[in-house]
Amino acid sequence: MRGPTYRIAMLCAALWAASPVAFGASDVARGAGAQGASAALDFRIDIPHVMQLKLLRHPAAIAITADDIARGSITVSGAQLDLLVNDRDGYVIRAQLANPVFTAAKVLGLPGALVAGDGAATLRMASMVGRPKPAPMPVSYELTLSPSAAPGQYAWPVALTLEAP
């Protein structure tokens, strides 16, 4: 005769074998020769929005000469914009003058016109999603001087930022 521990173990084994086991959304095959298991897995990948603008080869300051004042403008070349944006709707480049010595700034080398004057100016750019990261974009600046400008050294006058469309 077997003891009560044996009977309890047999009862538990019988209940376990007779009832389907489910933990979450998983299933295990049982029976003679059955080998297999399946499970459902729900997961989500959140990709953070990236809006990155690096100003490469932009001068920290600009020297204005009497000849520049006589011409009424100065052109600065050699700068580059290194952009990385993963928004499917594209992005907006915003330009704003940060120095009253200048009355306008035209950013050249972009796919469209971007001219900042009294207020900020914006240019809508196409999405970069699904394309390789582009090389830095060469740009130049055509800066219009105020009639009251004087020769001297001035801080870089154009502030560029990125915005969502």
The CATH T-level fold of domain 51-163 is Immunoglobulin-like (2.60.40)
- pLDDT given at position 162: 97
**Do residues 72 and 57 touch, judged by C-beta distance below 8 A?**
no
Which tens digit of pLDDT belongs to each residue from 45-56?
888 889 999 999
Q: Domain coordinates of the chain in residue numbers?
A: 4-39, 51-163
Picking from 9-23, 93-107, 125-139, which range would have the lowest pLDDT averaged per residue? 9-23
pLDDT at position 40: 81
**So what's the pLDDT on residue 21?**
43
DSSP conformation class of 42: -
The dihedral sign for the CA sequence 97, 99, 105, 110: negative
How does the average pLDDT of the chain come out, rounded? 86
pTM: 0.71
pLDDT tens digits along 55-69: 999 999 999 999 999
Rounded CA gap, 41 and 48, in Å? Answer: 22
Q: Is the pLDDT of residue 22 over 60?
A: no
